[in-house]
Structure 1
Amino acid sequence: MKVTLKKIAEKSNVSIPTVCRILKRKKSSYNKKELRVIKIANSLGYPYIEYYNQFKSIQKIAIILKLGTGEFYSSLLNGFIEASINTNYQFNIISIVKEKNPVQKAIEIANQHDGACIFLTEFKEKEYIKIKNNTLNKPIISIAPIPNPVFNTITFDSYRGGFLTAKFYFENGLNNVGLICGPNDNTEANNRKNGFIDFVNSNKSMNLNWIYNGDYSIESGHAAFNDLIENNIKRINLFSCNDAMAIGFIKEASEKNVKIPQEIKITGYDNLPICVNMTPTLSSIKTNYKKLGKQVIFTFDNLSNKSLTESTLSLIPVELINRDSTKK
Structure 2
Amino acid sequence: MASMKDIAKLAGVSTSTVSHVISKRRYVSEEISERVNKAAKELNYFPSALARSLKMNRTNTIGMLVTNSTNPFFGEVVKGVERHCYEKGYNLILCNTEGDHNRMRESIDTLMQKRVDGLILMCPSLEGEKLESFERSPNIPVVVMDWGTMSFESDKIQDNSLHGGYLAAQHLIEHGHRNIGCITGPMSKYQAQKRFEGFKQALQQADIDLNSQWVDEGNFECDGGYNAMQRILKQDKLPSAVFVCNDMMAMGAINAAHELGITIPEQLSIIGYDDLHIARFMSPALTTIHQPKFRLGKAAVDAILQKLSNADAPHKTVQLEPKLVERKTVRTVVEP
Matching of residues 1-328 of structure 1 within 5 Å: 59-67=60-68, 69-97=70-98, 99=100, 101-102=102-103, 104-111=105-112, 112=114, 113-128=116-131, 130-147=132-149, 150-204=153-207, 206-209=208-211, 210-306=214-310, 309-328=313-332
The runs of 5 or more residues in structure 2 that have no matched partner are: 1-55
Would the alpha carbon gap of residues 327 and 105 (structure 1) be closer, same or farther in structure 2, given more than 3 Å must change?
same
SS of 1:207's equivalent in the other structure is coil
Would the alpha carbon gap of residues 316 and 307 (structure 1) be closer, same or farther in structure 2, given more than 3 Å must change?
farther
- Contact 1:89 1:297 survives alignment (8 Å): no
- Contact 2:78 2:297 survives alignment (8 Å): no
- Contact 2:66 2:74 survives alignment (8 Å): no
What is the alpha-carbon distance in structure 2 between the residues aligned to residue 106 and residue 195 of structure 1?
34
What is the alpha-carbon distance in structure 2 between the residues aligned to residue 87 and residue 190 of structure 1?
35
Deviations 1:186-244 (CA, angstroms, capped at 9, x unpaired): 1111111111112212221x232220011112112111221122112324211111111
What is the alpha-carbon distance in structure 1 between the residues aligned to residue 306 and residue 250 of structure 2?
38
Give the TM-score taking structure 2 as reference length.
Answer: 0.74
Shift of 1:96: 2.2
The runs of 5 or more residues in structure 1 that have no matched partner are: 1-54
Aligned-partner residue type, residue 307 of structure 2? L
Would the alpha carbon gap of residues 126 and 252 (structure 1) be closer, same or farther in structure 2, given more than 3 Å must change?
closer
Would the alpha carbon gap of residues 108 and 246 (structure 1) be closer, same or farther in structure 2, given more than 3 Å must change?
same
Shift of 1:158: 1.1
Choose 1 or 2 for highest CA Rg.
2
What is the alpha-carbon distance in structure 2 between the residues aligned to residue 89 and residue 146 of structure 1?
28
SS of 1:125's equivalent in the other structure is coil
Aligned-partner residue type, residue 75 of structure 2? S
Give the TM-score taking structure 1 as reference length.
Answer: 0.76
SS of 1:122's equivalent in the other structure is helix
RMSD between aligned residues: 2.5
- Contact 2:109 2:133 survives alignment (8 Å): no
Give the number of equivalent residue pairs: 274
- Contact 2:64 2:119 survives alignment (8 Å): yes
Deviates more, 1:195-204 or 1:131-140: 131-140
Would the alpha carbon gap of residues 289 and 59 (structure 1) be closer, same or farther in structure 2, given more than 3 Å must change?
farther
Q: What fraction of aligned residue pairs are identical, expressed as a percent?
A: 23
What is the alpha-carbon distance in structure 2 between the residues aligned to residue 264 and residue 320 of structure 1?
19
What is the alpha-carbon distance in structure 2 between the residues aligned to residue 72 and residue 191 of structure 1?
18
SS of 1:325's equivalent in the other structure is coil
What is the alpha-carbon distance in structure 1 between the residues aligned to residue 133 and residue 122 of structure 2?
13
